[in-house]
A and B are shown apart, each in its own frame.
Chain A
Amino acid sequence: MELILQSIVNGLIQGGFFALFAVGLVLIFGVMGVVNFAHGELVMVGAYTVWVLHAQNGVPFIPVVMIAIIVVTAIGLLMERFLFRPTCNDPLAGLICSIGILFILQVLATVVGGDGPSKQVPPPYHGTLVLFDFLHVPYQRVFSFFISAAGLGTLWYFLTRTKFGWALRAVAQDREASALQGININRISMIAIGVGAALAGLAGALMAPLANINPHMGHNVIITAFIVTIVGGVGSLSGAVMAAVIYAMFHTFITVYFGGVIATICGLLLMVVVLIIKPTGIMGVKVSE
C-alpha cells in the first residue's frame, strides 16, 4: 500500500516533466505541421546549460533556469526562421531538418561537456518532505513539480485568455482560414515554437538535478514525448497533459515491479494499441486534411 502511494506521488511528479516537453511538441506540430525530432535535444540543451552555469560555475539555480529557457527559446526561434519556414510546404523536409539539428546539438554537447560519463548536478534544494510518516518526497522534486505546474498553468492562460493564444489555436485548426482573417502565420509560428522550446528548456533545467546528463539523453525524452502525444491525441494540449500523467504513473508502476526497459516496451505497445483503437487519442479531435 505504501509502495503504491509512493509510486502514485512519484508518477505525478514525473508526469509534470513529461507534460512540459510533450505540450511543446504538440504545439509545434499543431501549428506548423512539423514533427520536431530535435525536441529531446532542446531538453538536453536546457540540462547542459544548468550543468555548465550552476554545477561548474556556481551561478544560483533560479537565474540559471531563466537563462536555460532563454538559450533554448533562441535555438527554437532560429530553427523556425531558417529551417521550418523555408520548408513549410513539405513536412518531411522539416522533419529531416530537425534531425540535422539533432546531430549538431548532440555534437555541441559533446564538445562542451566532453565524452566521458554522464554529468550530475548537485540538487540545490536538500532535505525530504515527509507526508503521513511514509511518503518521502525530496524537496527538489516538490519544487520541480510546482514549477512545471506553474509553467503549464501559464500556458493554459496564454492559450485561452489572450489574443495571441486564440490566434495560435486558430492557426492550429485551419491555417488558410486564419490567414484570411488577417492572422500573421509566420509570427504565430514563431510564437508557437518559442513557447514550445521555452517549455522544453524549462523541463531540461528542472530535470538537470534529477537526471543523468549526457549528449544522448534526448532519445528517451523524444520517445516519451511521442507516446504522450499519441496517447493524448495529436494536437490536443489538455490530452497531452492528461496522457503525460497517466503514462508517467503507468511507467513508474511497471518500472517498480518489472524494470525500466519492460516499462518502455509496454509504453510503446500502449501507444500502438491507442493508434489502432482510437488514432485520435483520448482527447483528440479529428485533424482536418
Chain B
Amino acid sequence: MKIIIRLRKIIALIILLAGLIVLPHYLEFHYQDLLIFLIVNVLVVASYRIVTLTGEWSLIHAVMMGVGAYTAALLFKNYNAAMWFTLPLAGGAAALTAALLSFPLFRMTQFYFLIGSFAAGEAIRLTWMQFIFPFGGSGGLSGIEPPIIGSIDFMDPIPYYYLALGVVLICLFILYRIENSKIGMTLHAIHWKAPLAESVGVDTWRYRALAFIIGSFFVGIAGALKIHYLGTITPNQFGIGFMVFILIWVIVGGYKTIYGPLIGVVVLTIFDESVRGFGELRPAIYGGVLIISILFLPLGLESIYPKILTWCGIGSNSSDGPPP
C-alpha cells in the first residue's frame, strides 16, 4: 500500500514537471514573463515557510530578497560578475545579513519580533533609498543583464524560464529535505512545544536563528533570479507592500503543510491576472478576498482537498494541527 501511494506521488510529480516544461511554449509573451516571476515567487514563499516553521512571523523577508537582489546587481554592475557567481553570493549575503540580525531580533518573540523585524527591514530599505552611491537611491540601478552562453541568450523568456525553473526546483528540493530532516523536526517541535523542546536540551535561539538564516539564503537567491531577468532594481520593490503579498500567499494557501504556500502563490497569481481588467480597484478586490478567506477558510486553500476527501468518504480524517 505504501509503495502504491509513493508511486502515485512520483507519477503526479512527473506529470507536473512535464507540464511545467511544455507550459511556456503555449503562452503569450506577457504570460511567459509572468510565469518567470511566479516561479521566483514560489521560491520566496517556500523559503518563507522555513522561517515560519518555528511559529515566528517575520516581516523582513521581502527586504532579505532585496539584500540578495542588490548584491547580485552590485556585483554585476561593478565587477561584471557572471550569474553563476552572483546567485550563490546573493544568497550568501542575505544569509550573512540574517546571521548578524539574528542577534538582536531573536531576543524578541511574537508581536515584538514581528515589529522588530519590520523595523530592521525598513531601516535597511531606507538605507538603499538614502545612499545614491552605491545603491542608486530611490531610482535604483538598471542594466542588470542575464547571461549569454554560446548561442543561448537568456534575455528571452523561455530560456530564462528553464534556467529559473532549474534553480528553483533544486532549491525547493533542498528546502523539502531540510524540513524533513532532524533540523526541520526540531523547528516544528519549537513551534508547538517550545518549553518541552528546551527542557530536552534544544537551543531554541540557535534553531530559530538557523531557520531565519536558511530562509534568507534561499530568498536571496530568489532576489538575484528576479533582478537578472527584470534588469532594474529599486528599493520600493522590496517594501512592505511586497511583504504583505508574501504573507497573503502563505496565509491564503495555508501554512500547515509544505504545499499550502505554493498553492497560495499559484492560485492568487492566476486570480490576480484574471482581475487585471479592474485596474485601480485591484488591491481592494485582493483585500476582500483576503478577508473572506481568513473568515471562512482559516486553514487556507490546502484544507479544501482533505475536506473533499472526507466528504467523499475516502480520506482519513488526519489533521496536521498541533499535537494535543
Q: In the complex, are the beta carbons of A268 and B294 less than 8 A apart?
A: no
With a CB–CB cut-off of 8 A, which chain B residues contact A227? 119
B42 adjacent to chain A (CB < 8 Å): no
B116 adjacent to chain A (CB < 8 Å): yes
Q: In the complex, are the beta carbons of B291 and A83 less than 8 A apart?
A: yes
Q: In the complex, are the beta carbons of B130 and A96 less than 8 A apart?
A: no
Contact of A96 among B119, B120, B282, B294 (CB under 8 A): B294
Q: Which residue from chain B places its CB closest to the CB of A230 in the assembled complex?
A: B115
Q: Give per-residue flags for A247-269: 1 if the beta carbon is below 8 A from chain B beta carbons, else 0.
A: 00000000000010110110011
A283 adjacent to chain B (CB < 8 Å): no
B288 adjacent to chain A (CB < 8 Å): yes
Among A46-105, those with CB < 8 Å from B are: 83, 86-87, 90-93, 96-97, 99-104
Most chain B C-beta atoms within 10 Å of own C-beta, residue among A101, A107, A111, A276: A107
With a CB–CB cut-off of 8 A, which chain A residues contact B5? none
With a CB–CB cut-off of 8 A, which chain B residues contact A262? 130
Q: In the complex, are the beta carbons of A268 and B120 less than 8 A apart?
A: yes
Q: Which residue from chain A places its CB closest to the CB of B290 in the assembled complex?
A: A100
What distance in Å separates the Cβ of B110 from its nearest Cβ neighbour in chain A?
8
Per the bound structure, the CA–CA distance linking A7 and B5 in Å amounts to 71
A272 with B119: in contact, given A103-B287, A265-B127 (CB under 8 Å)? yes
With a CB–CB cut-off of 8 A, which chain A residues contact B108? 275, 279
A223 adjacent to chain B (CB < 8 Å): yes
A110 adjacent to chain B (CB < 8 Å): yes
Q: Which residue from chain B places its CB closest to the CB of A270 in the assembled complex?
A: B119
Per the bound structure, the CA–CA distance linking A279 and B247 in Å amounts to 25
Q: Which residue from chain A places its CB closest to the CB of B129 in the assembled complex?
A: A261
With a CB–CB cut-off of 8 A, which chain A residues contact B120? 268, 272
Q: In the complex, are the beta carbons of A101 and B116 less than 8 A apart?
A: no
B143 adjacent to chain A (CB < 8 Å): no
With a CB–CB cut-off of 8 A, which chain A residues contact B287? 99-104, 107
Q: In the complex, are the beta carbons of B107 and A279 less than 8 A apart?
A: yes
Among A142-162, those with CB < 8 Å from B are: none
Q: In the complex, are the beta carbons of B284 and A93 less than 8 A apart?
A: no
Contact of A226 among B119, B251, B294, B298 (CB under 8 A): B119
Among B125-180, those with CB < 8 Å from A are: 126-127, 129-130
A219 adjacent to chain B (CB < 8 Å): yes
With a CB–CB cut-off of 8 A, which chain A residues contact B248? 96, 99
| Interface SS majority for chain A | helix
What distance in Å separates the Cβ of A36 from its nearest Cβ neighbour in chain B?
12
Q: In the complex, are the beta carbons of A104 and B251 less than 8 A apart?
A: no
B114 adjacent to chain A (CB < 8 Å): yes
Most chain A C-beta atoms within 10 Å of own C-beta, residue among B107, B123, B244, B248: B123
Per the bound structure, the CA–CA distance linking A99 and B286 in Å amounts to 10
With a CB–CB cut-off of 8 A, which chain B residues contact A108? 284
What distance in Å separates the Cβ of B9 from its nearest Cβ neighbour in chain A?
31
Q: In the complex, are the beta carbons of B119 and A97 less than 8 A apart?
A: no
Per the bound structure, the CA–CA distance linking A269 and B280 in Å amounts to 35
A35 adjacent to chain B (CB < 8 Å): yes
What distance in Å separates the Cβ of A98 from its nearest Cβ neighbour in chain B?
9
Number of A-B contacts (CB under 8 A): 112
What distance in Å separates the Cβ of B239 from its nearest Cβ neighbour in chain A?
9
Q: In the complex, are the beta carbons of B129 and A115 less than 8 A apart?
A: no
What distance in Å separates the Cβ of A107 from its nearest Cβ neighbour in chain B?
4
With a CB–CB cut-off of 8 A, which chain A residues contact B130? 259, 261-262, 265
A93 with B298: in contact, given A264-B126, A268-B123 (CB under 8 Å)? yes
Q: In the complex, are the beta carbons of A223 and B122 less than 8 A apart?
A: yes
Per the bound structure, the CA–CA distance linking A275 and B286 in Å amounts to 33
Contact of B104 among A104, A115, A272 (CB under 8 A): A272
With a CB–CB cut-off of 8 A, which chain A residues contact B118? 226
A271 adjacent to chain B (CB < 8 Å): yes
Per the bound structure, the CA–CA distance linking A264 and B298 in Å amounts to 36
Per the bound structure, the CA–CA distance linking A41 and B107 in Å amounts to 30
B111 adjacent to chain A (CB < 8 Å): yes
Per the bound structure, the CA–CA distance linking A90 and B57 in Å amounts to 13
Q: In the complex, are the beta carbons of A86 and B123 less than 8 A apart?
A: no
Q: Which residue from chain B places its CB closest to the CB of A259 in the assembled complex?
A: B130
Q: In the complex, are the beta carbons of A99 and B244 less than 8 A apart?
A: yes
Q: Give per-residue flags for B84-124: 1 if the beta carbon is below 8 A from chain A beta carbons, else 0.
A: 00000000000000000000100110011011101110110
What distance in Å separates the Cβ of B42 from its nearest Cβ neighbour in chain A?
21
Q: Give per-residue flags for B259-273: 1 if the beta carbon is below 8 A from chain A beta carbons, else 0.
A: 000000000000000
Contact of A97 among B129, B280, B294 (CB under 8 A): B294
B18 adjacent to chain A (CB < 8 Å): no
Per the bound structure, the CA–CA distance linking A265 and B123 in Å amounts to 5
What distance in Å separates the Cβ of B46 from its nearest Cβ neighbour in chain A?
19
Contact of A104 among B107, B240, B288 (CB under 8 A): B288
What distance in Å separates the Cβ of B237 from its nearest Cβ neighbour in chain A?
15
30 A-B pairs in the complex with CB atoms less than 8 angstroms apart? A35-B111, A86-B295, A87-B294, A87-B298, A92-B251, A96-B290, A96-B294, A97-B294, A97-B295, A99-B247, A99-B290, A100-B288, A100-B291, A101-B287, A103-B283, A107-B282, A115-B280, A223-B122, A227-B119, A230-B115, A230-B116, A259-B130, A261-B130, A264-B122, A265-B123, A268-B120, A268-B126, A271-B119, A272-B123, A279-B112
- Which 3 residue pairs are nearest across A and B when measured between Cβ atoms? A103-B287, A107-B284, A100-B287
Q: A100-B287, A103-B290, A106-B283 are known contacts; what are 9 more A-B pairs with Cβ within 8 Å?
A: A92-B57, A100-B291, A100-B294, A102-B287, A234-B112, A265-B127, A268-B122, A272-B104, A276-B104
